[in-house]
Amino acid sequence: MTDFASKLGRRGTTAVAATVVTGAFALGVLAGGGFSGAARDVGAESSLVGRAEFATLEETWELIHTQWPDPDQLDDAALVYGAAQGMVDAIGDEGHSAFLDPAATVEYERAREGHYVGIGVEVDARCGVPIVAATMEGSPARAAGLLPGDVIAAVEGVSTRRIDLPGLRDLILGNEGDQLTLTIERSSEPVPLEIEVMRQTIDLDPVTWRWLPEKTVHMRVTGFEPGVNQEVRDALETIRAEGAERLILDLRGNPGGLVPEVIGVASQFLDEGSTIFQEQARDEEARAIKTVGRTGQWLDMALVVLIDDESASGAEVLAAALRENGRAELIGETTFGTGTVLSTFPQDDGSSVVLATAFWLTPDGDHVWQEGVEPDQFVTLARDAFPSRPEDDPDVTASELEDSADAQLRSAFAALAGGQPAG
């Protein structure tokens, strides 16, 4: 859920700690961020200056500055940043590669560390309007009384109808301590509510878990921020000591994260020497990235992985690695399809370019970019259903699980129990 890349047009649930690690960041910038790459010297023939296209850019600049009726309104930096963003967008690496202005660069760096200034909600935008899917423990959104199912109809008086997630991010993000007025439509209320929320720093817990029946644990990993590999290891050691035999690893809505963290988590479930993914840089042969460190600690634990169309980048790497190494079954929906490894290139003015510098392939050599990883069992949620989260209900009984609207979680439990998938 993190991640600033947006899966607009796809399912659209994301964490908006006002976070909104939605849009380009949330979707995987974090996942590729662990591969830092040096800028390539592509040669003078690739220089923009002197090309016909550069003349077009210059002419556009001149037209704006000589013809726009209010020259005092023009912001030269905004024009340049818009042109830079347009170039990156034209690559077609939707939801991954991005140009970040100085303010967005600061936000991105904070996001890489798992900190956000926002209100702490998860939003579902499937129906063309942002609907609160959940509020985070201790968040301003929860303190202000926002409830799952609430429609965020407007932010500071600006309508959110048909707004995309990056647009919502721009409306919600701001300075810590600032008040934000949300117009909320709630089914139980005859008229919209005006709710004041104060932005604050949100520290996300990327690894949460709970017990399900039959010695089964449901573990949710929301991103691969620094330290997640160790958090997963610690959690697995705890649940193993308490008798866990089966694990549902929930990567739904996970936008990715730092590559070393992804490799570390994958290594815990795979034999030494297993290929996690392949990396194919420009003009180079694909090279295998294999397990590292303490490998194969949990080979005897039955495993199912939940994915959806917001599982991206590092989450896709992990899911494909576990499936193609014969370690886990995948249940849910086809993933987002980022499929690129990112490098960050800081600019002198504080802006940065987060750019794909390699494709990643599955262990079997399949491309994921714009294709995604398909599940073994395709299970969707009803339009009015949201993924069940460990933090919302720490202990789930058999009857509660059976009645859950989360058909994907029910299917995963059935698969581990040897039964039929839930419909």
> Hey, where are the domains in the chain?
207-339+361-417
Among 264, 280, 287, residue whose Cα is nearest residue 356:
280
pTM: 0.78
**Under-50 pLDDT residues of the chain:** 1-44, 420-423
Helix residue ranges, H only, 244-368? 259-269, 314-324
> Is 301:246 a contact under the CB 8 Å cutoff?
yes
Tokens of 52: 């016909």
- The letter for the amino acid at 402 is E
**Residue 18 Ramachandran class (φ > 0 left, ψ -120 to 50 alpha, else beta):** left
pLDDT at 361: 95
CA 28 centroid distance within chain: 6
Count of CB atoms within 10 A of residue 204's CB? 22
Angle, nearest 10°, between helix axes 259-269 and 228-241? 20
pLDDT at 114: 67
The tokens 């949620």 sit on which residue?
A: 381
The tokens 């509660």 sit on which residue?
A: 400
> Is 368:316 a contact under the CB 8 Å cutoff?
yes
Buried b (16+ CB within 10 A) or exposed e, 251-265: bbbbbbbbbbbbbbb
Query: pLDDT tens for residues 263-287?
Result: 999 999 999 999 999 999 988 899 9
- The letter for the amino acid at 399 is S
Query: Which CATH number fits the domain 207-339+361-417, given the four candidates 3.90.226.10, 3.40.50.720, 3.40.50.1860, 3.40.50.12160?
Result: 3.90.226.10
Among 245, 312, 243, 300, residue whose Cα is nearest residue 268:
300
d(CA 111, CA 137): 18
Angle, nearest 10°, between helix axes 52-67 and 76-90? 140
- H or E, element range at 14: strand 13-16
What is the full DSSP assignment across 46-110?
G-STTSHHHHHHHHHHHHHHHH-S-GGG--HHHHHHHHHHHHHHHT--TTTSEEE-HHHHHHHHH
The tokens 């949710």 sit on which residue?
A: 220
